[in-house]
Amino acid sequence: MIEGEVMGRVESLEADPAGGFRAVIAYPLETTALDPAQLLNVVFGNSSLHADCRCVDLEAPIELLDAMGGPRFGIEGIRKAAGIYDRPLTCTAIKPMGLSTPALADLCETFARGGIDVIKDDHGLADQQWSRLEERIPACLAACERAADATGHRALYVPNLIGSPERVLRALRFAEACGARAVMVSPMLLGLPFFWELCQRHASVPVLAHPAFAGVLRLGPELLFGKLLRLFGADAVIYVNFGSRFHRSREECARLAGYLRDPWGPMRPSMPVPAGGIQLGNAADVVSFYGTDSMLLIGGDLQKQPGAVADRTERFVDTVRSAAQRSSR
């Protein structure tokens, strides 16, 4: 019974052109208990302790996809929250750590007035003494409303939630009560099973996934960002873009974005959010590469010239919108 119904079965073992070997192993579905933690335990639990072993892909039967659930809102939900349906979304982050809440809110309003669609907390912003979470969230939401009153464009502010499960859930309830229409977490810092529970059972708004701490895992980036985070419920996934300091190839990024958006059983598609290395000078190329269903996250390039943040923000927004119009012809 154990050998036939519990043990994994080696389906193939082949030399990998890049070095080493590539093994395909099939496990009985029952060993996962249809639970996110046990799924990871079966697929790559003790195996992850081998320094030369990596997990690079996962094929899941429909029963597992149904049990995990995937995104509750997906691309459609992100677009509804942002109010943008026909082009790539623009995104940036308020930062750095150390700025006061009024300073962060002012920056948020500048971005919103410049036409940015999604304005998120930097992943380093938590509940620190210089900017308490319960002050920052309403201040930034109010900043977006002031910008909307002035321009007619209502940006989507996305607070970062971080801490113990209890603190994250408390922050989630507070953000939702304040009127936040999306939130961001770092699944690898929180733990993937808790991330799944947050998405599936607690959040009533879309959840963006940030890649912080992902480098410690020996999981292939396409598997982690393209499949697992979507499987566990991320509505949008931030990942390292080609041309950044983290050295991701265009081919890897194309496959990753495909995993997030392509049909996969009953699951909704997740929004790809390439980040890192996006600048005014290459934004049009990034739009052409990823197409309409994407969110371009630009960071320091908007703030690198003191006094020019508003101008650079407007130029970035205009570049993305113009590139999207050209691509749609």
State the sign of the Cα–Cα–Cα–Cα dihedral 145, 147, 153, 154. Answer: negative
* Domains contained in the chain, number: 2
| Domain co-membership, 94 together with 243 | yes
Domain CATH for 64: 3.30.70.150
| Domain co-membership, 48 together with 81 | no
| Domain co-membership, 55 together with 103 | no
| Domain co-membership, 42 together with 80 | no
Closest CA to 34 of 62, 74, 4: 62
| Domain co-membership, 242 together with 95 | yes
Indicate the length of the chain as a whole number: 329
Mean pLDDT over the full length of the chain: 96
| Domain co-membership, 12 together with 92 | no
| Domain co-membership, 64 together with 78 | no
| Domain co-membership, 146 together with 216 | yes
Q: Any bridge partners for residue 120, and if so which? A: 93, 158
Taking only the tens place, the pLDDT of each residue in 185-243 is: 999 999 999 999 999 999 999 999 999 999 888 899 999 999 999 999 999 999 999 98
Strand-pair category, 118-121 with 89-94: parallel
| Domain co-membership, 263 together with 232 | yes
Q: By residue range, what is the domain housing residue 106?
A: 74-328
- DSSP for residue 11: E
| Domain co-membership, 209 together with 186 | yes
The rounded average pLDDT for each run of 10 residues, N- to C-terminus, in the chain (329 residues) is: 79 94 96 98 95 95 98 99 98 98 99 99 98 99 99 98 98 99 99 99 99 91 97 98 85 97 98 96 96 96 91 98 85
Closest CA to 217 of 15, 55, 74, 2: 55
What distance in Å separates the CA atoms of residue 136 and residue 142, rounded to the nearest whole number? 10
- Which pLDDT score is estimated for 248? 85
Domain CATH for 303: 3.20.20.110
| Domain co-membership, 210 together with 268 | yes
- Which pLDDT score is estimated for 149? 98
What distance in Å separates the CA atoms of residue 138 and residue 143, rounded to the nearest whole number? 8
Phi, psi (deg, nearest 5) at residue 311:
-65, -45
Closest CA to 58 of 40, 45, 75: 40
The last residue of a domain, from among 47, 68, 89: 68
Closest CA to 159 of 133, 121, 132: 121
CA atoms within 13 A on the CB side of 212: 16
Q: Any bridge partners for residue 237, and if so which? A: 209, 272
Total-model pTM: 0.96
The last residue of a domain, from among 68, 84, 119: 68
The last residue of a domain, from among 30, 47, 68: 68
CA atoms within 13 A on the CB side of 240: 19
Q: Any bridge partners for residue 248, and if so which? A: 242
| Cα angle: 94, vertex 95, 100; to 5 degrees | 100
Cβ count within 10 A of residue 73? 24
User: DSSP of 109-174, one letter per residue?
Assistant: HHHHHTT-SEEEE-TT-SSBTTB-HHHHHHHHHHHHHHHHHHHS---EEE-B--SSHHHHHHHHHH
CA atoms within 13 A on the CB side of 64: 23
| Domain co-membership, 88 together with 143 | yes
